[in-house]
Amino acid sequence: MRLINRLQNWANLLKRDVMVLWFTVKNPETPLVAKSLAVVAVAYALSPIDLIPDFIPILGYIDDIILIPMFVWITLKFVPEEVISQSRQQAISWLSTNKLKPKSYLGLAIILFIWLFVSVALFQTFIKT
């Protein structure tokens, strides 16, 4: 039971940190590099679909366990501490009043584009007419 509680706590902190990045994008004091990374991280984390669908054994959860936390960690390294603390307060406030997480249609579009690009590349590679 203790491991489950730790994993739930970690997931909640990750959810909060994604929302922190969401608010850092809106903060004018955030450097351009950090904003760019945050847009990509938030778009992917809040996308209604995953790059690797969860029904694929093991690989389907790699993005949830490795990619998103890595994106968040790297992005937060570029954000000034005062912006992080302001954004963290905003995220905690937002999460306490809103139970549903926002969805990123930019992330959805990016993932669909990647899937389309890979499908066309595979089609051209293996089914040459």
pLDDT in tens, 110-123: 888 888 998 898 88
| Domain limits for position 51 | 2-126
Nearest to 41 by CA among 10, 74, 65, 12: 74
Average pLDDT of 28-39?
A: 93
CA distance 85 to 62: 29
* Non-local CB neighbours of 41 within 8 Å, separated by 6+ positions: 18, 21, 68, 71, 72, 75
pTM equals: 0.74
The predicted-structure confidence for 70-101, as pLDDT tens digits, reads as follows 989 999 999 999 999 999 999 989 888 876 76
Q: How many structural domains comprise the chain?
A: 1
Nearest to 18 by CA among 117, 82, 110, 88: 88
